[in-house]
């Protein structure tokens, strides 16, 4: 196809969103809605994108980053006025096509915009309008046609009663010949009920000149949805997530209940993995094959290899190797790396640590800033005391070590290979390989305690002679 440019209209205040944030930055399936529009344009092979910004323009620019040409619409005087702001930049293009789309239409597919460009160029049209058939077209501009084709687009407030009955509506997306668009933009005037510059008047001028104006009817009218309030934002979220899940299911992923499963667009999942209800997968998460995820598990920007089972847990920027078992109620924080076959059980928190192959942290423990070897067993209630109030310190646990329940490992500390730590110990010195460390107070047994407490017995205290 010929050279292309796109103008994205994203200057509106979005007052009905009742928000301090620019409307186009509200997220749908984890991304700002304008990012979905930009991604669709890239899919349609659009080389150059011009953003028309207004309200909090600098905030939109900082979110989207580089790679765009920016113009500003300081006054909100209609869609035609918005595109007029891009006219100086459009002058650098002498031929090709120009897509004009709205930044608040996140459901608009890249395949649709590609078909719009293709039809426009195949028909040799000066303009091609993306249209939809709606059962209730209230609020939309109507496509008025005659025997020759498109006659005009009439806005709701300017439409006669018979025109309001027309169900084919203007979605606000167009493909123009660049030469024709530049020529007709210069003719726009605010001669309408709103006192605005209508981009649709460009269509009127082309029709009056006898130029070919074509249409492309959407197969899915929902793609045309513009987001103006929180209700529409929620509806777009539902539709976008359903679209993502359907794609995953077609690729061999089992989704037990799509209505209660939330997966963002960039997540990759291998075949035969099962997603249970309540699963939330975000960011650049990668999940392998034959995994069981959920129920009620959230995973963000993490890598999960094959054959992993995770239940009722939260993983954030973690890496999990094959055949691990996680949960219920585990929390894997950034920097966590689990080697193959690791078990992390209920109410365990791991942060910035490596857990070696086959090691187990079954329950009620915290492992932070640690390196744990293979085949290690960490008993319930164990804590790595990695922070002294000022600095963080590491813990090293060698292969095959056994850490008894309710142990406090005061870092920095090294536990040698095959070492043992008795339950209830607080250790702050390195433990040699194969040694047993016991660090707890001597046990005292007070004989006849019950009778003494009731005033009927004599206190006898015995120390455990075998404990030191």
The residues annotated with a catalytic role in the active site are: 363
Q: Is 234 annotated as a binding residue?
A: no
Following DSSP, what letter does each residue of 369-427 receive, concatenated? SEEE-TT-EE-TT-EEE-B-SS-B--EEE-TT-EE-TT-EEESSEEE-TT-EE-TT-EE
125 labeled binding residue: no
366 annotated to bind ligand:
yes
Q: Is 423 annotated as a binding residue?
A: yes
Which CA distances in Å does 139 have to 85, 194, 225?
A: 25, 14, 12
- How many CB atoms neighbour CB 408 within 10 A? 16
Annotation-wise, does 380 bind a ligand? yes
Q: Is 11 labeled as ligand-binding?
A: yes
Q: Tell whether 377 is in a known binding site.
A: yes
Q: Is 141 annotated as a binding residue?
A: yes
**Distance separating alpha carbons of residues 460 and 448, to the nearest angstrom:** 7
Q: Is 443 exposed, middle or buried (0-12, 13-18, 19+ CB in 10 A)?
A: exposed
Q: Is 351 annotated as a binding residue?
A: yes
Does 333 show up as a binding residue in the annotation? yes
Q: In whole angstroms, how far apart are CA 435 and each of 164, 259, 411, 413, 417?
A: 87, 54, 18, 14, 9
Q: Would the annotation count 127 as a binding residue?
A: no
The vertex-151 CA angle with 150 and 155, nearest 5°, equals 100
242 neighbors 232 (Cβ within 8 angstroms): no
Q: Is 220 marked within a binding site?
A: no
Q: Is there a contact between 101 and 223 (Cβ–Cβ < 8 Å)?
A: no
The reply to whether 356 sits in an annotated binding site is no
Strand partners, 437: 421
- To the question of whether residue 433 is assigned a binding role by annotation, the answer is no
Return all residues near 219 (Cβ < 8 A) that are at least 6 apart: none
Tell me if 104 is assigned to a ligand binding site: yes
- Note if the bond before 412 is cis, omega within 30 degrees: yes
Contact 371, 397 (CB under 8 A): yes
> Beta strands 127-133 and 168-177: pairing type?
antiparallel
Q: Is there a binding annotation on residue 419?
A: no
On whether 79 is known to bind a ligand per the annotation, the reply is yes
> Which residues make up each annotated binding site for acetyl-CoA?
380, 386-387, 405, 423, 440
> Which residues make up each annotated binding site for Mg(2+)?
104, 228
> Which residues make up each annotated binding site for UDP-N-acetyl-alpha-D-glucosamine?
9-12, 23, 73, 78-79, 141, 155, 170, 228, 333, 351, 366, 377
> Which residues make up each annotated binding site?
9-12, 23, 73, 78-79, 104, 141, 155, 170, 228, 333, 351, 366, 377, 380, 386-387, 405, 423, 440
């Amino acid at each position: 196809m010929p050279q292309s440019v796109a103008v994205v209209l994203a200057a509106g205040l979005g007052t009905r969103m009742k928000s301090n944030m620019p409307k186009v930055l509200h997220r749908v399936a984890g991304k700002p809605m304008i990012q979905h529009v930009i991604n669709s344009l890239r899919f349609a092979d659009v080389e150059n994108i011009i953003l028309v910004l207004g309200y909090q323009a600098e905030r939109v620019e900082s979110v989207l980053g580089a790679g765009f040409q920016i113009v500003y619409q300081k006054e909100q005087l209609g869609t035609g006025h918005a595109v007029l702001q891009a006219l100086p930049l459009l002058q650098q293009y002498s031929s090709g096509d120009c897509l004009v789309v709205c930044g608040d239409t996140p459901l608009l597919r890249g395949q649709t915009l590609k078909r719009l460009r293709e039809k426009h160029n195949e028909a040799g049209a000066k303009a091609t309008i993306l249209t939809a058939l709606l059962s209730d077209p209230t609020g939309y501009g109507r496509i008025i046609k005659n025997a020759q084709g498109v006659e005009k687009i009439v806005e709701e407030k300017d439409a006669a009663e018979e025109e309001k009955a027309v169900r084919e509506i203007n979605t606000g997306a167009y493909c123009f010949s660049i030469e024709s668009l530049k020529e007709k933009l210069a003719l726009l005037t605010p001669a309408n009920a709103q006192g605005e510059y209508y981009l649709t008047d460009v269509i009127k001028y082309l029709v009056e000149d006898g130029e070919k104006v074509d249409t492309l009817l959407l197969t899915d009218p929902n793609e045309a949805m513009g987001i103006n309030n929180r209700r529409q934002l929620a509806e777009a979220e539902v539709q976008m997530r359903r679209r993502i899940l359907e794609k995953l299911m077609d690729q061999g992923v089992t989704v037990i209940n799509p209505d209660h499963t939330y997966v963002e667009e960039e997540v990759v999942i291998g075949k035969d993995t099962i997603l249970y209800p309540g699963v939330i997968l975000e960011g650049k998460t990668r999940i392998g094959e034959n995994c069981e995820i959920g129920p009620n598990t959230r995973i963000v920007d993490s890598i999960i290899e094959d054959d992993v089972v995770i239940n009722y847990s939260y993983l954030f920027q973690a890496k999990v190797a094959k055949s691990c078992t996680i949960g219920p109620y585990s929390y894997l924080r950034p920097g966590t790396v689990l080697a193959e076959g690791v078990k992390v059980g209920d109410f365990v928190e791991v942060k910035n640590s490596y857990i070696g192959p086959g090691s187990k942290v079954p329950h009620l423990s915290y492992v932070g800033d640690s390196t744990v070897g293979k085949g290690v067993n960490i008993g319930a209630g164990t804590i790595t005391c990695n922070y002294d109030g000022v600095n963080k310190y590491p813990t090293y646990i060698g292969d095959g070590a056994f850490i008894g329940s309710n142990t406090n490992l005061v870092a920095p500390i090294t536990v040698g290979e095959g070492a043992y730590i008795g339950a209830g110990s607080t250790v702050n010195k390195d433990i040699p390989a194969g040694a047993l460390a016991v660090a707890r107070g001597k046990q005292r047994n007070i004989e006849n305690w019950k009778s003494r407490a009731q005033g009927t017995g004599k206190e006898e205290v015995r120390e455990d002679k075998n404990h030191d």
